[in-house]
A and B are shown apart, each in its own frame.
Chain A
């Protein structure tokens, strides 16, 4: 549950969430396995959902989730709260592990056919009937993603979920590199704004 049931504002709720994650990471850095269990209860489903979306394979997603939490256990002492939020730090760890698996599957050919195929699979995945209940924040984020212009949404998702580089996307989509960069930047910032607006 990402939103607290307290009486505070959404901003307070966000800060409380961040504080709790940071507190657990600090405890994990001290070797506290109970803190790791607590963090898994808070963030396990979320990271597993991301990894399922990236890898589109249940078994691989489960392995990657396990690897991600073991990596969090191992690297918690390196977490710097001044550089990134705890959740972003954990997402980056999980995403990095998933990208390693994607790269290991086969050499990717960044051509137009592959581009079309990936875009279609991302569309199918995002529009699949929801199997578990989304909380308000997740619903707001999904809504923000759906509101993005199609080319922005595609570029952002290909870059984030499939690990395509800006150049690869530009080449496969037949668009100038600068255009693709701008789409990704704008798409990310729009999502960030949606998150900020939600907590405001």
Chain B
């Protein structure tokens, strides 16, 4: 009876997978130490090749390779994704992109363009490689180890070209946007452009809540805009600036007053310091707009009582003051106040009427002071602020 522990028997069991886990570990230890045993195992393994070859031959259907190709392509993608994720995470991306860019540049600079263009995908090429074409020799991937690298470079070159195209497109869009922005900025700085604003009492400006406009002020503002746009000129007897300059004028219940020198307003002088000052500060918003070198405001009885003498003072960047005094009637009044050229260019100073604690922003504020003296002798002063570039 043969010895059941003969090394040859263990080797045969090992090759055929018949050893238990423990016996297998023990045999592998012996295998590592014995060249003779390793040679025996090799011989027995070759016998399994003979057994395989003895199997009745069958032709493998094409679909097997198709399945292999798909599985391998899918795994390669996963492998690639894992590789790139780790690569990006480790921060090698930037350095390698630079290197790749340099290599591509060198490559593209020394190769004809036709070599770079490939019409087939790698999958197509692989399918072509396995297809039985006896006259066409299978490309030997090992005889030219640089082939794979070359194909990779070509693929990267295509990706790079696509990226360059996108960058160029974005560059064009950026240029167009810059031009549009420049045109808009230029349009904003045009002197004849109307810039709307609301003069909000300084006491409420900081919290952003402006008191609502009265209906009279809204109508006066619309009339002022219509006049600024020249809509009245087609109306027979409509006032122009020269006529305005001679006398106050009323259109449809709205009074127009121009404080330019030599007009119907009173030349600017500092408001008088009254002996008594009202503590009741009107909480109203004065609507207006800046057009060229003038500030147009609409006021009514919410700003000062009718028949009050109201003085407007505007302080510009150089502490120059302009303004004038009007006597309010019963109608809402549109007041045109001249501005200095400095203000028209955007220069602004806080001025002496900015309340303590108000911090000018980098854009600055324009201070507009409205002092009123009522017919009953009550004096009040309110300051309004507006951004330098409304």
Contacts and interface: CB of A to CB of B under 8 A. Distances in A.
Interface of A: 2, 23-24, 26-27, 30-38, 40-41, 44-50, 52-53, 61-62, 65-66, 69-70, 73-74, 83-85, 87-88, 91-92, 95-96, 99, 125-126, 128, 130-134, 137-138, 141-142, 144-145, 156-157, 159-161, 163, 165-166, 176-179, 181-182, 184-185, 188-189, 191-192, 194-196
A30 B67 CA distance: 21
Given A23-B142, A159-B16, A179-B1, A87 B49 contact: yes
B13 interface: yes
B115 interface: no
Given A96-B17, A141-B51, A184-B16, A70 B72 contact: yes
Given A70-B68, A96-B17, A141-B54, A48 B60 contact: yes
A69 B48 CA distance: 18
Interface of B: 1-4, 6, 8-9, 11-13, 15-18, 38, 41-61, 63-65, 67-69, 71-73, 75-76, 122, 126, 129-130, 132, 138-142, 148
Contacts of A163: 17
A24 B143 CA distance: 11
B56 A185 contact: no
Contact of A134 (B16, B43, B57, B59): B57
Contact of A70 (B12, B51, B71, B138): B71
Contacts of A36: 68, 72
22 contacts: A37-B126, A38-B141, A40-B68, A45-B60, A48-B59, A53-B55, A62-B67, A83-B38, A85-B45, A92-B45, A137-B53, A141-B53, A160-B51, A165-B18, A179-B2, A181-B4, A185-B9, A185-B11, A188-B48, A189-B43, A195-B50, A196-B46
A35 B140 CA distance: 8
Contacts of B1: 176, 178-179
A189 B148 CA distance: 42
Contacts of A157: 51
Contacts of A73: 68, 72, 75
Given A40-B130, A166-B18, A181-B9, A188 B47 contact: yes
